[in-house]
Amino acid sequence: MEPPAFDRTALHSKAAASFEELALALLDRFEPRPRQERAEPFTTRHTMETIHAISSPPVAAYVDFANKLTGWWYYRDGTDYALTGDNYRALRELVERIRRKSPFTNGFSDHFLEEAVTTWCAAKHKCEDAGPFVAFLLDHCAEAWSTHDFLLPLVGVEVEHDFTLGAVRVRTIPPELFERAAAEARARRPDDPDAGKSADALGETAANLAAVAVRVTGEPRFADSQAREIADDIAGVLRFMSPGAISSTVPSLVQPWGIKTVPQTLVMKLDGERLAGYSRQWLHGGLAMWKLGAPEIERLTATNFASLAIFFDGTALNDYAAHVRPAFFAFARAIGQFEPVDRLVGAITALECLLLRDQNEPLQQMVGERLAFLTASGREDRQRTVADYKAAYGLRSRAVHHLRGMDNEQVADRLFRHAFLAFVRAIEGLSVLTTHVQFLDGLDRIKFGGRYRDNDDDRPATEPAGRP
């Protein structure tokens, strides 16, 4: 399928006029200020200067040490003109308005749009022929709009063959990719003994790993960020499918390469000033490598992968899917946590997101009861599920409010099994449910002896109240 083109005609005339007015108002907000060199942190123990500049000619960004944008500046006639503080917030307001209007709603990062606005302002201040702001912005966006193909390695999982989730493909990285790159580098620089070595080194690290192959359309900074987010979500799906999804103590280590590493201790033994020996020890146990074989891929492709593809096919989500998505990925993040307490807190938070209408409902009662009617059948099973949830919530409260550790793994394990099954049921509903209220109404109806859905011809393929 061809990626969408940048449609510069989609901008409404009233929005364009508003953008023009706000951009002109920004011209008077740039203030002259002395040249500020890059600051060093912790010059004293009392203050920490966080502002430094990242050059992006003809303008430059002020960012803090977390790489968060805090302002912009440009140079003219020996003076820096800066946009910071309240003046920078006026720029942020303009960018937020731009992002809410077509054709800027997708494909452009905040950094890119802020840079475009600042570049236009700098040109106007330097008396250059920048033209009207909206025309400049549309030209700038159209020039940067392109399609990008990415391959992002995953760790913690091996796949026997390729498979797809929506518009995203999970595949094995071929060694030939790096061999070809190294050969091309040596052909370009035949007299350079180091030519191709970086490609060879990358191949030693990434060849034969599982990877997320994704195509993103937009400007380069947005595309890069979007690809990383998609890879993180795909890793979350795989963690949910892994054996670690139902354990309160064994994390699934499926992650985009480099995001998280398993920590080790290093103990060196000395004999005087001589190294007599050393040892390394994993600080946490986990699924160091999950092998996803062909039979399991086929089974998941026909069931859960097929349902979850809705999150990756580029289509707009209905109300139900939009509620399930953040809850599902919150649980997937919990599965990847090393600390059992963090796993439990994350799992309960995800269940609250899935099973509550709003913050006014009583947490333990409504989540516990809906969890029971979603995952169990029969009075005794449901009573046990409610009791398990209340006991797990007690563990969570002691951990959060009293900094207690995990002192009952059995309760936590039962909670993880209930939570996993709840999300399996929720995923099954993606193909038939349209609103979150519809989903919760169906669960509440069961409590009073009714069926999950009033219309027998419009039910999930698997009854949420059925025995797993």
Q: Name the domain boundary from 144, 179, 206.
A: 144
Length of the chain equals: 468
Q: Which of 30, 56, 51, 55 is nearest to 40 (CA)?
A: 51
In a domain, residue 71? The reply is yes
Per DSSP, the residues of 28-76 read GG-EEE---PPPPTTSSSS-----EEEEETTEEEEE-TT--EEEEEEEE
In a domain, residue 348? The reply is yes
Distance CA 83, CA 115 (A): 12
Q: Which two tokens stand for residue 294?
A: 């062909």
Identity (one letter) of the amino acid at 123? A
DSSP 252: B
In a domain, residue 50? The reply is yes
Identity (one letter) of the amino acid at 299? R
In a domain, residue 29? The reply is yes
Q: Do 179 and 187 touch, CB atoms closer than 8 A? A: no
In a domain, residue 59? The reply is yes
Q: Name the domain boundary from 77, 110, 144.
A: 144
DSSP 246: G
Position 345 scores a pLDDT of: 92
Q: Do 355 and 348 touch, CB atoms closer than 8 A? A: no
In a domain, residue 376? The reply is yes
In a domain, residue 422? The reply is yes
Q: Which residues span the domain enclosing 363?
A: 316-447
Q: Which residues face 84 on adjacent strands?
A: 71
The H or E element containing residue 279 is: strand 274-282
Distance CA 341, CA 404 (A): 9
Q: Name the domain boundary from 93, 119, 144.
A: 144
Distance CA 390, CA 365 (A): 8
Half-sphere exposure of 242 (CA within 13 A, CB side): 30
Tens of pLDDT, residue by residue, the chain (468 residues): 567 889 999 999 999 999 999 999 999 999 998 765 555 555 554 444 556 667 778 999 988 877 888 999 998 888 889 999 999 999 999 999 999 999 999 999 999 999 999 999 999 988 888 899 999 999 999 999 999 999 999 988 999 999 999 999 999 999 999 999 999 999 999 999 999 999 999 999 889 999 999 999 999 999 999 999 999 999 999 999 998 888 888 888 899 987 666 667 778 888 888 888 888 776 555 666 788 999 999 998 888 888 999 999 988 999 999 999 999 999 999 998 888 889 999 999 999 999 999 888 877 789 999 999 999 988 899 999 999 999 999 888 887 876 676 667 889 899 999 999 999 999 999 989 999 999 999 998 887 665 555 444 434 434 444 333
Q: Do 344 and 359 touch, CB atoms closer than 8 A? A: no
Q: Do 310 and 166 touch, CB atoms closer than 8 A? A: yes
Distance CA 53, CA 71 (A): 9
Position 462 scores a pLDDT of: 40
Identity (one letter) of the amino acid at 139? D
Q: Which of 416, 419, 306 is nearest to 355 (CA)?
A: 419
Q: Do 214 and 314 touch, CB atoms closer than 8 A? A: no
| pTM of the predicted model as reported, rounded to 2 decimal places | 0.86
In a domain, residue 51? The reply is yes
Q: Which phi and psi (to 5°) does residue 253 adopt? A: -95, 15
Position 463 scores a pLDDT of: 46
Distance CA 130, CA 23 (A): 12
CB atoms within 10 A of CB 12: 10
- Could you give the number of structural domains in the chain? 2
Integer angstrom CA distances of residue 93 from 84, 109, 114, 177: 13, 15, 10, 44
Identity (one letter) of the amino acid at 334? A
Position 453 scores a pLDDT of: 52
Position 261 scores a pLDDT of: 61
Q: Which two tokens stand for residue 366?
A: 């409504």
